[in-house]
A and B are shown apart, each in its own frame.
Chain A
Amino acid sequence: MSSRKRRSDGGVAYSDLDGSLRDRTIVALADTTLRGNLDTAAASWGESRDAMRRDHGLDDMRQRARDIRRQNIRDLPALLSEMQAKVREAGGTVVRAADGAEACRYITGLAKARGVKVVAKSKSMATEEIKLNEALEGSGLEVVETDLGEWILQLAGERPSHIIAPAVHLNRSQVAQLFREEAGTDDVPDDREGLVAHARMRLREKFAQAGMGVSGVNLGVASTGTVCIVENEGNARLVTSQPRIHVAVMGMERVVADWDQAAHILQVLPMAAIGQDAANYVNLITGPRREGEADGPEEFHLVIVDGGRGALRGTEFEEALSCIRCGACLYSCPMWKSVGGQAYGSPYSGPIGAVITPLLEGPSSPSSRDLPFMSSLCGACGEACPVGIPLQDLLVRARARASSPDTRKAGLAFRAWSRLWRHPSTYRAWMAGWRLMLRARGKGGWATDLPGPGGGWTQVRDMPTRWPPRR
């Protein structure tokens, strides 16, 4: 199997890469276009977000956002029951899915039963997580992503590199190339407005054919059974109102108690996510179209996905459930900025992805073995998080939970280490041996080839054998 799919512009589609996480970082590091694109995006996010902190008091809003979300997670079962009852009162259907497969079965079955041929989707990480597109396409349905970034990725055959900005790793000329291939003509402009206009034209045609619209949910408001969908393009409004059926897919943790809480979180979300004090569109949807209303779907289905979330309540990872999926930790992360989200090989990337992916997939999953270790624990993520999740602490806990041949091997080494380093005499003996080895290996004040785990060090850098080091 070919491990790399090449886009026609020569870039690598990292989501299709095989190999270890480390291998994927090596490939990504070699891609200078990718690095340029990520740097530009992260720098622009940083400037806008700093403005939010300076002019709109984002830092002061964090504490309340944190408190709200912690309380939501503690009250989760009650909030979900209330949410469910209110959606049903409003004429909607609620389905609680234990996992992604169950959610996909329900949605695919519904589409089949209603004779749907085309499904229009707005951006949703939950549907990425449950692999809904694959399920729908596997049953012969056509799926159209209507978020600009998601549509670009659909054309490229790639997965999102960022929670909020899925195609942030691509630049304008790469996008123009994809559009030309899709349209089968070179007659696609490559300025920003021209590209957007082109996408709008192509996508509008699809809306007319779609029998079902699938959206995600940014927040569920329990007191009224309303789902909030935040967006900047207006496509989610069409997805949720144009087709006959609207299916909203919500991770079970995304529920707040009431509008007072929702108003606060809906303010914090775009500030942290894109450095905007308000999102362009906030869609508030309570059930299907009611009698006398001019538009809206005939059917509204809310699919609430557990997918491993419920089991995290009451554990040392509970705080991860308060995430509002703003993506701020990605933009702040030196690792994400260096290799992009696709190298992570999981729907959720960056620090929050490195924490939750193993939790959702289980301790012996490949993601668990690798992802929590791809961090220097620099703490920039925890600092950026608008709901105060201590991501660097969760990463350490996730490492302790990982179970693989590698971690077991490291466990044995650390057991020996611990025996030696807890007693002063054996510690000093170890240090004496180490310094002898260093001196023996050193040449001109530097060691360039260390044995054992030190090989990981000297593979890319030298070790000073005298301090302060020589030039």
Chain B
Amino acid sequence: MRTCLSDAVAPSVWKSAKRVLERAGVEVKVPRSQTCCSQPAWTAGHPDQARAVARHTLQVFAGPEEVVVPSGSCAGMVVHAYPEMFKGEPEEEAALDLARRTIELTQFLARHGLDPGPAAPGPVTLHDSCHMLRVMNENESPRQVLASGGCEVREMQHTDRCCGFGGVFSINFPELSARLGEEKARAAVESGAHEVVSCDLGCLMHIVGVAHRQGIPIRARHIAEVLDT
């Protein structure tokens, strides 16, 4: 799954994810007809509009393959919210099936013991995105994958704290959102790393966008791009 944010802002993210998987010996298909997991509408409180888009996603990803997503948030959407979204709908079984087959990129690599080869040397600091951490219940796989690729991780303070992105929240409450982003960017700088890395592009766009506006010197890359060097 490419993710709509990658399509919109950073196609290099899904392309890196594809290369990383292929380097690890995985056969990868990227369905051209895919669009979005529908999270923007779902979390904004428009479940019917979300369901119509998610229905398309169910069709695109029907089939027995594991669905690997370079985003803890989009993966979490499918794994956690699809069962609720399609409860009592004709597609309920298909939704549960897709939820079972969907997994985030670094989880997939770690779970199957795959080695994509050397990563960028770092040092980087890893932001635990909230949905990766609390919906996918995962903070080990990204660290494990970075470590086995030889990338040095310098942990920042409160890495499990929200960066303030939160999808529509970032637009509805920009000041509050930016304050949390600023705290995150400063914590990242203080870690001694020059680059903040995460499994979620949304968080990174927000953190680096706030940092750039405020002149905080930190760069950002998606974890797939760090693994793809």
Interface positions of B from 148 to 190, Cβ below 8 Å from A: 161-162, 164-181
B130 close to A376 (CB less than 8 A): yes
A417 to B177, CA, bound (A): 24
Given A339-B176, A460-B178, A468-B12, A382 contacting B134 (CB threshold 8 A): yes
List B contacts of A422 (CB < 8 A). 35, 52-53, 55-56
CA distance A377 to B40 in the complex (A): 12
Using A461-B212, A467-B10 as known contacts, say yes or no to A373 and B41 having CB atoms under 8 A apart.
Answer: no
CA of A382 to CA of B133, assembled, Å = 12
Binds B, one of A72-80, A206-214, A393-401: A393-401
Contacting pair B44 A399 (CB below 8 A): yes
Q: Give, as a whole number of angstroms, the nearest-CB distance from A412 to chain B.
A: 10
B221, CB-defined interface residue at 8 Å: yes
B141 within 8 A of A: no
Q: Is B86 an interface residue (CB 8 A)?
A: no
The CA of A52 and the CA of B193, in the complex, are separated in Å by 33
SS class, residues of chain B in contact with chain A: helix
Residue contact A421 to B178, C-beta cutoff 8 Å: no
Contact A453/B171 with A411-B46, A414-B49 known, Cβ cut-off 8 Å: yes
Mask for B94-135, Cβ within 8 A of A = 1, else 0? 000000000000000000000000000000000000110111
Instruction: Find residues 229-249 in chain A having any chain B CB closer than 8 Å to their own CB.
Output: none
Measured between beta carbons, the chain B residues less than 8 angstroms from A459 are 174
Q: How many residues of A contact B (CB 8 A)?
A: 59
The answer for the CA separation of A21 and B220 in the assembled complex, in Å, is 32
On whether the beta carbons of B35 and A424 are closer than 8 Å, the reply is yes
B41 A379 Cβ-Cβ under 8 A: no
Q: Which of A144-152, A259-267, A427-435 contacts B (4 or more CB under 8 A)?
A: A427-435
Closest chain B residue, CB of each to CB of A25: B176
Quote the shortest CB–CB distance from A174 to chain B (angstroms). 22
- The reply on A4 being an interface residue by CB < 8 A is no
A378 and B134 within 8 A (CB): yes
The minimal Cβ–Cβ distance linking B210 to chain A, given in whole angstroms, is: 4
Does B45 sit within 8 A of A, measured CB to CB? yes
Q: Does A328 contact B (CB under 8 A)?
A: no
Task: Assess the B181–A461 pair: CB atoms within 8 A.
Answer: yes
Q: Which of B42, B176, B210 is in CB contact (< 8 Å) with A29?
A: B176
- CA separation between A145 and B166, bound complex, in Å? 39
The 8 Å CB contact of B174, one of A374, A392, A434, A456, is: A456
The answer to whether A137 has its CB under 8 Å from any CB of chain B is no
Q: Provide the residues of chain A in CB contact with B52, threshold 8 Å.
A: 418, 422
A335 lies within 8 A of chain B by Cβ? yes
For the complex, what is the distance from the CA of A392 to the CA of B50, rounded to whole Å?
17
Q: B46–A410 contact, CB under 8 A?
A: yes
Cross-chain contact of B169 among A338, A375, A434, A471 (Cβ < 8 A)? A375
Contact A414 B171 (CB under 8 A): no
A423 proximal to B (CB < 8 A): yes
Q: Does B191 reach chain A (CB closer than 8 Å)? A: no
When chains A and B are docked, how far (Å) is the Cα of A225 from the Cα of B180? 47
Residues of A with C-beta under 8 A to B133:
379
Q: How far is the CB of B13 from chain A (nearest CB, A)?
A: 7
Complex alpha-carbon distance, A421 and B50, angstroms: 10
A56 nearest CB across to chain B (Å)? 22
| Residues B49 and A380 in contact, CB atoms below 8 Å apart | no
Contacts of B131 in A (CB 8 A): 377, 379
* Highest count of chain A CB atoms <10 Å: which of B4, B13, B167, B176: B176
Partner of A421, one of B32, B53, B135, B168: B53
A415 at the binding interface (Cβ < 8 Å): yes
- The minimal Cβ–Cβ distance linking B219 to chain A, given in whole angstroms, is 6
Once the chains bind, are B49 and A461 in contact (CB under 8 Å)?
A: no
Which residues of A sit under 8 angstroms from B217, Cβ to Cβ? 471
Given A377-B167, A431-B7: A460 touches B174 (CB 8 Å cut-off): yes
User: Which residues of chain A have C-beta atoms less than 8 A from B84's C-beta?
Assistant: 393
B133 to chain A, nearest CB (A): 8
Interface code A438-471, partner B: CB below 8 Å = 1, 0 otherwise? 1000000010100001001101111110011101
B208 at the interface (CB under 8 A from A): yes
Would you give 25 A-B contacts (Cβ < 8 Å), ordered by A? A334-B161, A334-B180, A335-B176, A338-B176, A373-B172, A376-B162, A377-B167, A396-B43, A400-B47, A407-B45, A414-B50, A421-B4, A421-B53, A422-B55, A431-B7, A456-B170, A456-B174, A457-B171, A457-B174, A460-B213, A461-B212, A467-B10, A467-B11, A469-B212, A471-B219
15 further A-B contacts with Cβ under 8 Å, apart from A414-B44, A457-B170, A469-B219, are A373-B173, A376-B165, A377-B131, A378-B134, A380-B130, A414-B41, A417-B40, A418-B53, A421-B4, A422-B35, A435-B8, A456-B170, A464-B208, A464-B209, A471-B217
A binding-site residues for B, Cβ under 8 Å: 21-22, 25-26, 29, 334-335, 338-339, 372-380, 382-383, 392-393, 396, 398-402, 407, 410-411, 414-415, 417-418, 421-424, 427, 431, 434-435, 438, 446, 448, 453, 456-457, 459-464, 467-469, 471
